[in-house]
Structure 1
């Protein structure tokens, strides 16, 4: 999976996850903001990764949007 935070993206702080489909996950809450064709299994793995690396993703968001 590839995790991307876009420079000119909108609030709330979120990460785009690409794999077999695409999802957007809120970094702070873990809310799945959207899911485009990502399997339940991959979505669960993506969510786990975002939550485990929450501080890292939030710091990256702040660097780009702070």
Structure 2
């Protein structure tokens, strides 16, 4: 599972054998959230949350939005077959 970005002590992961729509898993501190990317311009949209607070989710979404270009490109690289 490639880690494509790190921030706030969290890992942003794209699974190679995953499915559409474009999304990332944010993992850390015993929590995980899944955000749809809505490529190419976003905004990232929460799909699932397992343990993050509302404030954390807002901060994560903001940080993901800053890196949309990189995240969408990484998704395309990892999932070239789509």
Q: TM-score, normalised by structure 1?
A: 0.91
- Unpaired segments of 5 or more residues in structure 2? 1-9
More helix by share: 1
Distance in 2 separating the partners of 1:18 and 1:40: 15
| TM-aligned CA deviation for residue 27 of structure 1 | 1.1
**Residue in 1 aligned with 2:37?**
27
RCO higher in structure (CA 8 A, sep ≥6): 1
**Residue in 2 aligned with 1:43?**
57
Please point out which of 18, 25, 33 is paired with 1:16: 25
Deviant stretches of 4+, over 6 Å: none
**Residue in 1 aligned with 2:14?**
5
| TM-aligned CA deviation for residue 19 of structure 1 | 2.1
Is the CA contact 1:23–1:33 (under 8 Å) kept in the aligned structure 2? yes
Is the CA contact 1:24–1:35 (under 8 Å) kept in the aligned structure 2? yes
**Rg larger for:** 2
- Unpaired segments of 5 or more residues in structure 1? none
User: How many positions carry a matched residue from both structures?
Assistant: 66
